[in-house]
């Protein structure tokens, strides 16, 4: 059985500062091969996610890796000691050219490995984003099998048995919306039952499952995202256990509390919060916005501790109440975000780029939405609000907590979100009350957010605001950013201040 990765580096562009191995913060597509090699060689990273979904991708990844590090990968084979896993585009029957290229890349990479005498196909798993039904990963598996069989028929008529193994490619659902997380067994059971009929090694090797943490927060708010993930972990664990195989969940998280609080200074808190997760996504801010030795130590702790932490069971009665709670918070979150979307988008236009992402317009349209409005993706969304001094963790949360108390459900929030006080206290260090008060005087939604900040302090008996000199500097920067936006200052000046603020909080968004 192959080892289960505990730490998975991703290409999410949330770093504010420059990597230790590079002179500037922008990581071009041609830099990502070097990044992959450095991470495998110099940090306790077990897996690297190669993103075919929302960004440009170097399709010569295999040739470049083996030409630059042949000796390394002969000692540490891809597909065994280390994993290279592709996040493919969503399978929607439209604009499938990137999916087709990803499939052929996997197959040609396997050919390359065979030709140079390596023991394994380097890529053996695909992450399927935006999964909402069992039909989607089943269709992807079938599509890949058909492509693999055609590839075999044309190029490997004499090696049918070897190439047929590629038809058994693992397709791991990536579940990204709150509704699907709360009803995840409706996706997993029919999918896994079908796999059990096709793949006999599942009972020994188990299955992986990828749960998003950022996008659920963006679409429903902080508390619903956390509660939905906790329910999904419990329900998925029960489903896998009933079918007789082990489950190895992956959690997609960023450094700031809104996106998961997975950072080198918070390891004990998030390991307790997300017990049962076996693989954590280690995004760019985690790797590059903290001291290197601190990063290395935290990754070792994740490797050591994650396999020991168990899923927190959520009984059926509590699941129904948690869904009710989530709807309560979401009903406050969504209209608020719709109302301030214009402000968010205006600030997001000044968030500096860190990777070569596809444009969110036209042919390559790929943006996120809440209600009737279009918004930046999660990193830009989070960065925009932090740049104003209005952390998104504080939006809708206080009012939701007061509603939870009135409904007699507050104890459930504390039981299943034990890190809530830590998360809000951390986010609250970057609150700029003056900015919020200015915005509240101009727009009702910001006035509601301002009252919600008071409600957070009341409900949790905590004090929000800067704690250290660097938090005060961050507050001052966000005041300057707001004033620069209002005076139509140069984009260069605003981007500079946005970046400096991101460096202070150790993540763009």
Is pLDDT at 403 greater than 70 in this prediction? yes
Q: What gap in Å lies between CA 256 and CA 254, rounded to an integer?
A: 6
pLDDT tens readout for residues 77-91: 998 889 999 999 987
Q: What gap in Å lies between CA 50 and CA 86, rounded to an integer?
A: 5
Is pLDDT at 198 greater than 90 in this prediction? no
- Whole-number Cα distances in Å, 374 to 25, 44, 47, 219: 27, 38, 32, 11
User: What is the chain's length?
Assistant: 509
Question: What's the token pair of residue 140?
Answer: 């992807």
pLDDT for the residue numbered 151: 79
- Minimum mean pLDDT range among 285-289, 309-313, 371-375: 371-375
Mean pLDDT confidence for 423-439 = 98
Mean pLDDT confidence for 48-63 = 88
Is pLDDT at 55 greater than 80 in this prediction? no
Q: What gap in Å lies between CA 249 and CA 235, rounded to an integer?
A: 12
Between residues 143 and 438, which one has the greater pLDDT? 438
Q: What gap in Å lies between CA 228 and CA 234, rounded to an integer?
A: 10
Query: Percent of the chain having pLDDT more than 70?
Result: 94
Q: Is 430 helix (H, G, I), strand (E, B) or coil?
A: coil
Q: What is the mean pLDDT of the chain?
A: 92
pLDDT for the residue numbered 165: 53
- Minimum mean pLDDT range among 95-109, 284-298, 488-502: 95-109
pLDDT tens readout for residues 218-229: 999 999 999 999
pLDDT for the residue numbered 362: 33
Please name every residue paired with 48 in a beta bridge, in sequence order, or none if there are none: 9, 84
Please name every residue paired with 457 in a beta bridge, in sequence order, or none if there are none: none
Q: What gap in Å lies between CA 138 and CA 63, rounded to an integer?
A: 30
Q: What gap in Å lies between CA 450 and CA 122, rounded to an integer?
A: 51
Q: What gap in Å lies between CA 399 and CA 431, rounded to an integer?
A: 17
Phi, psi of 360 (to 5 degrees): -90, 35
Q: What gap in Å lies between CA 504 and CA 21, rounded to an integer?
A: 20
Angle between helix 469-486 and helix 433-440 axes, rounded to 10 deg: 30
Walk me through the domains of the chain, giving residue ranges and CATH numbers: 7-308 (3.20.20.60), 316-505 (no CATH)
pLDDT for the residue numbered 366: 45
Is pLDDT at 95 greater than 90 in this prediction? no
pLDDT for the residue numbered 73: 93
Is pLDDT at 449 greater than 50 in this prediction? yes
Q: Is 177 helix (H, G, I), strand (E, B) or coil?
A: coil
- Minimum mean pLDDT range among 62-76, 272-286, 367-381, 447-461: 367-381
pLDDT tens readout for residues 339-393: 999 999 999 999 999 998 754 433 333 455 666 788 999 999 999 999 999 999 9
């Amino acid at each position: 059985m192959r080892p289960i990765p505990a730490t998975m580096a991703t290409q999410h562009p949330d770093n504010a500062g420059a990597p230790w191995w590079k002179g500037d913060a922008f990581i071009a597509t041609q830099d990502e091969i070097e990044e992959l090699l450095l991470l495998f060689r110099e940090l306790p990273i077990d897996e690297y996610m190669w993103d075919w979904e929302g960004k440009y991708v170097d399709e010569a990844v295999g040739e470049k890796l083996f030409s630059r590090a042949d000796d390394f990968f002969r000692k540490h084979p891809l597909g065994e000691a280390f994993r290279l896993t592709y996040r493919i585009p969503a399978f929607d029957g439209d604009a499938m050219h990137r999916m087709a290229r990803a499939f052929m890349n996997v197959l040609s990479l396997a050919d390359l490995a065979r030709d140079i005498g390596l023991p394994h196909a380097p890529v053996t798993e695909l992450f399927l984003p935006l999964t909402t039904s069992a039909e989607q990963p089943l269709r992807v598996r079938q599509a890949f099998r058909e492509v693999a069989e055609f590839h075999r028929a044309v190029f490997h008529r004499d090696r049918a048995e070897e190439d047929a193994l590629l038809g058994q490619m693992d397709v791991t659902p990536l579940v990204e919306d709150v509704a699907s997380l709360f009803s995840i067994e409706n996706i997993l059971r029919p999918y896994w039952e079908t796999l059990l009929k096709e793949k006999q090694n599942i009972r020994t090797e188990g299955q992986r499952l990828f749960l998003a943490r950022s996008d659920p927060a963006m679409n429903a708010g902080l508390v619903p995202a956390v509660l939905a993930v906790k329910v999904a972990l419990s329900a998925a664990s029960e489903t896998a256990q009933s079918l007789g195989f082990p489950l190895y969940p992956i959690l997609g998280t960023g450094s700031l509390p809104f996106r998961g609080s997975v950072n080198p200074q918070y390891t004990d808190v998030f390991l307790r919060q997300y017990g049962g997760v076996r693989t954590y996504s280690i995004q760019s801010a985690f790797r590059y916005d903290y001291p290197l030795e601190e990063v290395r130590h935290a990754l070792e702790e994740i490797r050591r501790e994650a396999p020991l932490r168990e899923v927190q069971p959520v009984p059926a009665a509590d699941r129904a109440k948690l869904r009710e709670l989530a709807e309560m918070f979401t009903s406050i979150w969504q209209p608020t975000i719709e109302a301030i979307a214009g402000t968010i988008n205006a600030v997001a236009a000044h968030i500096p780029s860190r990777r070569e992402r596809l444009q969110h317009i036209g042919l390559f349209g790929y943006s996120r939405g809440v209600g009737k409005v279009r918004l930046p993706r999660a990193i830009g969304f989070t960065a925009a609000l932090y740049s104003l001094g209005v952390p998104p963790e504080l939006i809708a949360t206080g009012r939701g907590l007061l509603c939870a108390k009135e409904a007699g459900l507050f104890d459930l929030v504390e039981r299943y979100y034990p890190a809530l006080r830590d998360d809000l206290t951390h986010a609250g260090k970057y609150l700029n009350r003056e900015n919020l008060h200015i915005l509240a005087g101009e727009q009702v939604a910001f006035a509601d957010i301002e009252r919600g900040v008071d409600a957070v302090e009341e409900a949790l008996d905590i004090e929000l605001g800067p704690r250290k000199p660097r938090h005060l500097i961050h507050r001052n920067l966000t005041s300057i950013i707001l004033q620069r936006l209002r005076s139509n200052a140069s984009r260069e000046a605003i981007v500079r201040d946005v970046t400096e603020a991101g460096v202070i909080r150790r993540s763009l968004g």
